[in-house]
Amino acid sequence: MPDIKIAARDGGSFTGYLAKPTSGRGPGVLVIQEIFGVNQVMREITDGFAKQGFVALCPDLFWRQQPGIQITDKTEAEWKRAFELFNGFNVEKGVDDLKATLDALRKTDGCSGKVGTVGYCLGGKLAYLMATRSAADCSVSYYGVGIEGLLGEAGKITKPLLMHIAEADKFVPPEAQAKIKAGLTGNKHITIHSYPGADHAFARVGGEHWNATAAQSANQRTAAFYKQHLG
């Protein structure tokens, strides 16, 4: 499907890639991008959720820096640009844009009104923040970067949060993983799964660290989680 326009809360607008199930109806899933923009990988993930019966929407969160970013993880120049965008990203504005997307998705024709979030890498961190700061019905975080510095918000989580942690994640070292687990253990709304030997972005099909076993396990858990909480 073509991209749609989403109104930003502070003025202006940005685009999002929308995919619907063949029935045209279902719960919503807000798909949160990696550091490469709403590229082919993110669009295929969004399409995948639509095939599972969800109205899925992936917003362009880099629009404030450069709209329409669609790069890959295949060249050194693209990695350099991706990290420039990551370092220039305003997390507070990004969360605001995700809240605007959440509102837009709930109002999208065919959406049941129930909406979960799912994010990867940068998006995994933002999915955690949507669990702490938004009215999303549930959230899923894949190998979120920087969550160990945001544990002070954990007490605000009152809706289900599923977290997938890569034990060999080069961007989230063992001490950060231990801090995350220690800081979140005890919150009945949070479920954490770790994947031994899996590196960052283990669920990115075609990526350097693609791990079929870990990805299949994580994706199955995500599907069951959504079935339970978005039904």
List 60, 137, 169, 199, catalytic entry: 169
How far are the Cα atoms of 86, 101, 132, 145 from residue 215, in angstroms, in the given order?
24, 26, 25, 18
Six token digits for residue 24? 């045209």
Give the position of tokens 């998705």.
Answer: 105
Rounded Cα gap, residues 223 and 91, in angstroms = 27
In order of 25, 28, 33, 82, 97, the CA distances from 100 in angstroms are 21, 14, 15, 24, 5
Expressed in percent and rounded to 5, the helix, strand and coil fractions of the chain are: 40, 25, 40
Identify the residue whose tokens are 């007490």.
155
60 classed as catalytic = no
Catalytic residue among 73, 137, 164, 200: 200
Question: What's the CA gap between 3 and 26, in Å, rounded?
Answer: 19
Using CA atoms, how far apart are residues 117 and 61, in angstroms rounded to an integer?
A: 14
Q: Is 47 part of the annotated catalytic residue set?
A: no
Cα torsion angle, 193, 218, 41, 169, sign: positive
Contact 119, 127 (CB under 8 A): yes
**Which sequence positions are flagged as catalytic?**
169, 200
